[in-house]
DNA sequence: AAGTTGACTATTT
DNA sequence: AAAATAGCCAACT
């Protein structure tokens, strides 16, 4: 298999995340057959085109926080808005409760 | 071609 | 609890 197949698998797995749920990079990596390669997942999402239908916003880090740096505002990011739209709740620290919202296949 | 960087995570200070 | 360390690998310089 070629290297780009791994990326394709990552996209497929991300696409499977149900609405209202989130997954961590490590989780996606493992489900994609790439254990221990969470960074590649982030990297794959980073190269994603703007109009992509991949729900990249449902992927967050293992701490339940958003990995992208703030886009200019001090208290909100694009991803946070999208997640709120999906009924995902943040706690006071801006952290998602993974025990509740983590996607469990 | 070799070194740096980054949408990560688990472990150790 | 927060910060540093180590492991991982593709893209970029």
- Walk along chain A (105 residues) and give the pLDDT tens digit of each residue: 555 678 999 999 999 999 999 999 999 999 999 999 999 999 999 999 888 999 999 999 999 999 987 665 556 688 999 999 999 999 988 899 999 999 999
Model pTM?
0.91
Which nt sits closest to A62, CA to C1'? B9
Which nt sits closest to A42, CA to C1'? B7
Per the CB < 8 A criterion, the answer to whether A67 and A22 are in contact is no
Query: From CA A68, how far away is CA A65, in angstroms rounded?
Result: 9
Which nucleotides of strand B come closer than 7 angstroms to any CB of the protein? Answer: 6-10
| CB of A89 within 7 Å of some strand C atom | no
Per the CB < 8 A criterion, the answer to whether A22 and A80 are in contact is no
Q: Residue A33: CB partners within 8 Å, gap ≥ 6?
A: A6, A9
pLDDT of residue A10: 95
Query: From CA A49, how far away is CA A46, in angstroms rounded?
Result: 8
């Amino acid at each position: 298999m070629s290297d780009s197949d791994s990326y394709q698998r990552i996209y497929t797995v991300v696409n499977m995340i149900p609405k209202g749920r989130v997954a961590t990079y490590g989780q996606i990596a493992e489900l994609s057959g790439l254990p221990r390669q969470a960074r590649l997942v982030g990297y794959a999402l980073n190269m994603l085109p703007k109009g992509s239908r991949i729900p990249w916003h449902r992927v967050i880090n293992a701490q339940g926080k958003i990995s992208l740096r703030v886009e200019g505002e001090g208290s909100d990011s694009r991803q946070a808005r999208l997640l709120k739209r999906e009924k995902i709740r943040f706690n006071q620290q801006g952290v998602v409760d993974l025990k509740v919202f983590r996607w469990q296949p």
